[in-house]
């Protein structure tokens, strides 16, 4: 278990699930949590285990994934700092629907369900803020899943790039995962991902410099992500 740093509270305040909480509510949350340090490759939880709490990634990266009986891996999400995970099965009282593993040395904040339940029972404002944030997050996840499962690889990639650009002051940003992990997340081979990136650049949608992406035409990229147009 790792000692909390002054930045923990600021990361919590920016987390989508807790962004509507007051400073006092955030402080209460932090005081009733624990920080866990994870090595690269360390499993946070396995699919099927009981969800007794939720996590907020403070630093590093964690992938959420499922494994088939043949050993094939499907990456569902790669999380960055500030993102919560396992909140849905925790609130539903069910088991984890997938596995979670650190893909970099990482730190996560862990909040037990009993602590959150007690805080929600004591503070109606806290409960309402949590429910509103959870509802919004579920809508965002449903939209993203639809975009990433019902379209071809270029459209899935376009949706992912638009999602990554949200909330940024510049059209340029670094990919938040390796191309290998991104291919797994999009349900594509590395070769298909490389071809899609090259075609997006050749046709003026984006420019690339290593892992840095600059979106050159947001409107055309949006049309591609929604299936209104296709790459030539």
Q: What is the pLDDT of residues 144-153, one digit of tens each?
A: 666 556 578 9
Percent helix, strand, coil in the chain, to 5, is: 45, 25, 35
Contacts of 22 (CB under 8 A, 6+ apart): 125
> At residue 210, does pLDDT exceed 80?
yes
> At residue 1, does pLDDT exceed 60?
no
Give tens-digit pLDDT for 87-129: 888 988 899 999 999 999 999 999 999 888 888 888 888 788 7
CA distance 8 to 216: 35
pTM comes to 0.69
pLDDT at residue 44, as a whole number = 96
Cα dihedral: 129, 134, 139, 142 (round 10): 170
For residues 215 and 205, the answer to whether their CB atoms sit within 8 Å is: yes
Give all domains of the chain, ordered by start, each with its CATH number.
Answer: 7-145 (2.60.120.10), 151-225 (1.10.10.10)
**In residues, how long is the chain?**
232
Buried b (16+ CB within 10 A) or exposed e, 119-134: bbeebeebeebbeebb
Name the least confident of 101-105, 128-132, 217-221: 128-132
Give tens-digit pLDDT for 48-79: 999 999 999 999 999 999 887 777 788 888 88
Q: Tell me phi and psi for residue 34, to 5 degrees.
A: -135, 145
Helix axes 153-165, 179-186, angle to 10 degrees: 120
Buried b (16+ CB within 10 A) or exposed e, 144-161: eeebbeebebbbbbbbbb
Both structure tokens of 184: 């797994």
Q: Which residues pair with 109 in a beta bridge?
A: 35, 56
Helix axes 113-122, 124-149, angle to 10 degrees: 130
Give tens-digit pLDDT for 155-209: 989 988 998 888 788 899 998 788 888 888 888 888 999 999 999 999 999 999 9
Per-residue H/E/C for 98-136: CEEEECCCEEEEEEEHHHHHHHHHHCHHHHHHHHHHHHH
pLDDT at residue 150, as a whole number = 55
CA distance 120 to 65: 30
Greater pLDDT, 22 or 155: 155
pLDDT at residue 222, as a whole number = 93
pLDDT at residue 36, as a whole number = 94
């Amino acid at each position: 278990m790792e000692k909390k740093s002054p930045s923990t509270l600021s990361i919590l305040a920016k987390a989508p699930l807790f962004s509507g909480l007051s400073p006092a509510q955030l402080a209460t949350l932090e005081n009733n949590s624990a920080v866990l340090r994870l090595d690269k490759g360390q499993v946070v939880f396995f699919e099927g285990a009981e969800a007794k709490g939720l996590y907020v990634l403070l630093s590093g990266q964690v992938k959420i994934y499922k494994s088939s009986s043949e050993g094939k891996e499907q990456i569902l999400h790669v999380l960055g700092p500030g993102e919560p995970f396992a909140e849905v099965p925790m609130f539903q009282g069910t088991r984890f629907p997938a596995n979670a593993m650190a893909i970099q040395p990482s730190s996560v904040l862990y909040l037990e369900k009993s602590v959150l339940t007690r805080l929600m029972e004591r503070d109606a404002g806290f409960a309402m803020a949590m429910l509103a944030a959870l509802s919004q997050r579920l809508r965002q996840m449903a939209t993203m899943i639809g975009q990433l499962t019902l379209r071809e690889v270029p459209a899935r990639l376009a949706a992912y790039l638009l999602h990554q650009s949200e909330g940024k002051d510049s059209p340029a940003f670094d990919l938040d995962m390796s191309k290998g992990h991104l291919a797994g997340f999009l349900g594509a081979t590395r070769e298909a991902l490389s071809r899609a990136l090259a075609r997006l650049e050749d046709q003026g949608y984006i420019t690339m410099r290593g892992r840095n992406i600059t979106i050159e035409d947001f409107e055309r990229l949006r049309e591609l992500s929604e299936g209104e147009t296709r790459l030539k």
